[in-house]
Each structure stands twice: as structure tokens, then as C-alpha cells.
């Protein structure tokens, strides 16, 4: 495995096949490009920290994305030379339908040995699996494709919940925008949390999500139901997080019996009312830990945890990180960014 020296420019190569999902490609690509721009702007005279290029699995550089956009890759897979820091495979139609040629699969398997780390965005995991690069590893992909990945990669431990997974030097992510979360995590891994946070803010990403977060947002889940009373319940819950949100209280709000409400809610939302409330509390507390100066006690009370110990227990279970550690890790830090002189 190639090892990058501290402070050296890191070469990021994205692999794209015909019918690539354009956001799988340009979303994370822009994260690395913007990280370089911000770093150079804040460190006059410094060299860019990343070089970014696209290689296609096709014989020709020109290819069409699944949205119909035609674009030109920097190279074909046959033309790619030299060492690579990070190799990331974008998802797309050809990869999902196993239409990538065997020659490109063999190339991927070989070139992966020359990269310090490899990974995939969304269904790009299917290509890693075909090359045997996920064998014996834990991985994820877009929730809608997890069952397919399980069938195609029986030696892989597929986890359908996280937005991205790291197993040693192999990284896999869920669908579309989760690729940007993965890219931000890689920037943080290389150059620290302040730079990753500045990139997230610059790209107007709502917030930077840790890999352990579920692909399924509680607030988003409610938008999927056809039942208007359930959809409207979210706003009321968010306004009343500091109150006891029992099944009876929620049922009364939507004019249903507690028993019928619990049954209907669990069927519609694929989670219990208690789990839904817990997720909303965690999502709200995370935003306040990142964006406010409020004390841990205040946030725990306002979000309905009761006390800091209760909030800590829920955070550890849901995010695998304590609230205090989360705040230190993800809170925006102002000031100039310096080169990190530590090993990757």
C-alpha cells in the first residue's frame, strides 16, 4: 500500500463508468477541490493539498452520466499511471447492471494495491465487490441496494444503516450526498476538523454527519407517509421536545387512541414512536452542540433528555460518541488552517 508523506499533495482518483450517477462523482470531487482552494487561500505560498482527476472504465474518455450529461474524463483506466493516494468508485447504471468489462475489473483489483486507501460512493461498492476488494470486510451502500450487494458479495458484512463505513483502508458510503460526508471525513482525516468544517460551511452543507449516523433521518421519514396527521406531528414534537412525549401524548395530538396510534405509526414509519422521538432529540441536540454556546445541561434539558447523563447514554448508543466529544470534534473553529505535520 502506498504511503503518502505528511504535507504532500494527495492524488485523488475517481473511477466513473457509463451511466454514472453525477452527484456520486462531482459531489465528493468538489469537496476535495474546495479543501485545496481554502487551504491555499489561508496559507499563502502553500501548495494545493489535493489533485483530483477522473478515470473512466470505458475505452474512451467521453461518457454520458445517467442524467444525460456528456462529459470527458481526464483519462481512461488504461492511461492511468503513477501512485495514487485515494481511489474512489462512483456508482451508476453500468456498475449496477454489471456492465463494466472484465478487463477494467482486473485493472481495479491491481491498481487498488497502489493506493493508500480505496472506497466507493453509493453503488460503486458493487464494482469493489466484483474486484474482490470487499471480501471479509464490513461495507455499506445506498439502502435500496443493500440486498443486492448482500447477494453479490456474500463474503462481505453489509450494514444497511450507516452513511459510510471504514474497514481499515477501505471506505464505502451510502447514496449520493453521503459521498460528500465521506469526502469530508477523508479531508478531516488528512488535515483536521477545522478544514473539513470550513469546507462543509463553504458548500452550504447543512451539517457534517459522522459515519455512524443512520441513512434514515427521523424528520425525513415522516415526510414519506401519506397520513397528513403524522406528517404534521413532526413540527409539534420539535416544539415540545422538553416535554414528556409519551405514546398517549402523541396519540392525543393526532386524535387517535394510544393503541391504534402505536400500531399505525410503527407500520407507517418502520420504527416505534419512542425511537422516533429519540432520533429527533438526538438530531436537534447535535445541531445545538455544533452551532450554539449553550451548556450541556441546557441542551440536555431543552431536547428532553432530562440530564446530561441520559443524553450521554443515548448519544453513545445512537452515534457511538459522547456529547462532549461530539462538540469538541464537530464544532466550527475559526482561525487560519495550518499544515498538519502528523502521519495519516
Instruction: Give the relative orientation of helices 258-269 and 228-239 as an angle to the nearest 10 degrees.
Output: 100
For residue 43, the model assigns a pLDDT of 93
Please give the Cα distance from 191 to 10 (Å, whole number): 11
CATH number, domain 218-330, options 1.10.3720.10, 1.20.1600.10, 1.10.10.60, 3.40.50.300: 1.10.10.60
Q: Given this model, what pLDDT does residue 204 score?
A: 82
| Res 217: pLDDT | 53
Beta bridge partners of residue 171, listed in sequence order? 119, 166
- Alpha helices by DSSP H, listed for 224-333, are 228-239, 247-253, 258-269, 273-291, 296-302, 308-319, 323-330
DSSP one-letter code for 112:
G
- Residue 218: the pLDDT is 53
DSSP code of residue 145: G
**What residues does CATH 1.10.10.60 cover in the chain?**
218-330
Distances (CA, A) of 61 to 120, 156, 159, 337: 20, 32, 34, 36
- Other Cβ atoms closer than 10 A to 321: 17
Q: Residue 340's pLDDT is what?
A: 42
Give the model confidence (pLDDT) of 312-335 as tens digits.
999 998 887 899 988 887 664 433
Cell of 335: 482561525
Instruction: Give me the residues of the chain with pLDDT under 70, please.
Output: 1-7, 206-229, 330-344
Pair 311, 250: CB distance under 8 Å: no
The CATH number of the domain covering residues in 10-202: 3.40.50.880
Q: Which three cell numbers stand for residue 338?
A: 495550518
- 3-class secondary structure, 84: strand
In a 13 Å sphere around the CA of 276, the CA atoms on its Cβ side amount to 26
Asked if 214 and 161 count as a contact pair (C-beta separation under 8 A), the reply is yes
For the segment 191-227, what is each residue's pLDDT rounded down to a tens digit?
A: 988 898 889 889 988 555 655 555 555 555 555 455 6
d(CA 135, CA 187) in angstroms, rounded, equals 26
Judge contact between 3 and 60, C-beta under 8 A.
no
Cα–Cα dist 276/189, whole Å? 32
Are 174 and 140 in contact by the 8 Å Cβ rule? The answer is: yes
Domain with CATH 3.40.50.880 in the chain: 10-202
- pLDDT (0 to 100) of residue 8: 78
- Residue 286 grid cell: 447535535
Residue closest to 66 by CA, chosen among 144, 123, 13, 129? 123
Q: Per residue in 105-121, pLDDT tens?
A: 999 999 999 999 999 99
Give just the sign of the alpha carbon dihedral 313, 314, 318, 323: negative
* 8-state DSSP, 295: -
Q: Could you tell me which of 81, 77, 83, 79 has the C-alpha nearest to residue 105?
A: 77
**CA-CA distance, 250 to 270, in Å (whole number)?**
17
pLDDT number for residue 194: 86
Distances 341 to 6, 7, 191, 198 between C-alpha atoms, Å: 6, 7, 9, 19
Amino acid at each position: 500500500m502506498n504511503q503518502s508523506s505528511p504535507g504532500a499533495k494527495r492524488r485523488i482518483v475517481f473511477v466513473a463508468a457509463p451511466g454514472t450517477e453525477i452527484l456520486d462523482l462531482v459531489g465528493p470531487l468538489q469537496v476535495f477541490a474546495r479543501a485545496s482552494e481554502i487551504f491555499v487561500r489561508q496559507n499563502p505560498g502553500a501548495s494545493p493539498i489535493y489533485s483530483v482527476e477522473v478515470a473512466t472504465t470505458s475505452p474512451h474518455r467521453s461518457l454520458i452520466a445517467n442524467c444525460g450529461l456528456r462529459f470527458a474524463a481526464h483519462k481512461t483506466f488504461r492511461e492511468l499511471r503513477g501512485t495514487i493516494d485515494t481511489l474512489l468508485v462512483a456508482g451508476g447504471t453500468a456498475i449496477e447492471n454489471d456492465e463494466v468489462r472484465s478487463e477494467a475489473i482486473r485493472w481495479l483489483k491491481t491498481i487498488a494495491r497502489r493506493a493508500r486507501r480505496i472506497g466507493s460512493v453509493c453503488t460503486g461498492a458493487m464494482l469493489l465487490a466484483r474486484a474482490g476488494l470487499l471480501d471479509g470486510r464490513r461495507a455499506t451502500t445506498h439502502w435500496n441496494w443493500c440486498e443486492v450487494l448482500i447477494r453479490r458479495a456474500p463474503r462481505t458484512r453489509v450494514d444497511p444503516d450507516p452513511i459510510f463505513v471504514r474497514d481499515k483502508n477501505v471506505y464505502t458510503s451510502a447514496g449520493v450526498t453521503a459521498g460528500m460526508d465521506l469526502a469530508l471525513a477523508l479531508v478531516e482525516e488528512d488535515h483536521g476538523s477545522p478544514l473539513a468544517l470550513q469546507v462543509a460551511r463553504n458548500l452550504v452543507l447543512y451539517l457534517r454527519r459522522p459515519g455512524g449516523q443512520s441513512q434514515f433521518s427521523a424528520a425525513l421519514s415522516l415526510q414519506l407517509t401519506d397520513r397528513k396527521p403524522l406528517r404534521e406531528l413532526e413540527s409539534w414534537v420539535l416544539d415540545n421536545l422538553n416535554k414528556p412525549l409519551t405514546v398517549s401524548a402523541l396519540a392525543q395530538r393526532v386524535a387517535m387512541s394510544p393503541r391504534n396510534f402505536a400500531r399505525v405509526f410503527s407500520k407507517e414509519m418502520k420504527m416505534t414512536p419512542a425511537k422516533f422521538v429519540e432520533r429527533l432529540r438526538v438530531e436537534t441536540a447535535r445541531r445545538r452542540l455544533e452551532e450554539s454556546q449553550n451548556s450541556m445541561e441546557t441542551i440536555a434539558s431543552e431536547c428532553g433528555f432530562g440530564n446530561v447523563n441520559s443524553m450521554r447514554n443515548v448519544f453513545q448508543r445512537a452515534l457511538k460518541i459522547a456529547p462532549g466529544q461530539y462538540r469538541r470534534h464537530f464544532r466550527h473553529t475559526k482561525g487560519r488552517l495550518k499544515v498538519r505535520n502528523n502521519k495519516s
